[in-house]
Amino acid sequence: MNVIDAPRLGLRFEIRRSDAELVEFDVVGRSRGFIRGAHLHRKQTERFEVIEGSMRLVMEGREHVLRPGDAMEVPAGVPHRQLPGDGRSGRVREHAKGQRRDARATHQRAAWMSNQPGSGRATSADAR
């Protein structure tokens, strides 16, 4: 398993699968604002499944609170925001289908940003 530590973001990305069909990874920790801004993936569908803790997913003007066992899919082209749930640490499994480089680029940017002085937050452009 590949692991990308991003301590300034409060997160660790555990890459479980990465092939032509799917990128599957766990986001572990307590987010400090990674991907708070609305963003979209033109050719990529994302599915979020909460394993531990909670998260808020804002999609099409509605906020959804996901808890352990809950899952939600974001279709390609739909603007969305990913926000921390209750402020505690957690684990969210994400499945990204459709444009492999989107998910890989997001993790590479997270790792890069985590190593930048004064960094601790990605912008919506960083998630595209």
Secondary structure of the chain as H, E, C letters? CEEEEEHHHCEEEEEEEECCCEEEEEEEECCCCCCCCCECCCCCEEEEEEEECCEEEEECCEEEEECCCCEEEECCCCCEEEEECCCCCEEEEEEEECCHHHHHHHHHHHHHHHCCCCCCCCCHHHHC
Query: What are the pLDDT digits (tens) for 102-119?
Result: 455 555 555 554 554 444
Residues contacting residue 37 through CB under 8 Å, at least 6 positions apart: 81, 123, 124, 127
Report whether 19 contacts 29 (CB < 8 A): no
Pick the range with the lowest mean pLDDT from 35-39, 42-46, 98-102. Answer: 98-102
Number of Cβ atoms within 10 Å of the Cβ of 104: 15
Q: Is the dihedral of CA 95, 98, 77, 6 positive or negative?
A: positive
Using alpha carbons, list the distances in angstroms from residue 114 to 17, 46, 108, 122.
22, 23, 10, 9
Query: What are the pLDDT digits (tens) for 78-104?
Result: 999 888 888 889 999 999 998 655 455
Domain residue ranges in the chain: 2-120
Is 60 exceeded by the pLDDT of residue 69? yes
Mean pLDDT of 22-37: 81
Given this model, what pLDDT does residue 120 score?
A: 39
Across the chain, mean pLDDT equals 79
Fold annotation for 2-120: Jelly Rolls (2.60.120)
pLDDT interval class at 74 (50, 70, 90)? very high
Token pair of 100 as six digits: 């492999």
Given this model, what pLDDT does residue 40 score?
A: 83
pLDDT interval class at 39 (50, 70, 90)? confident
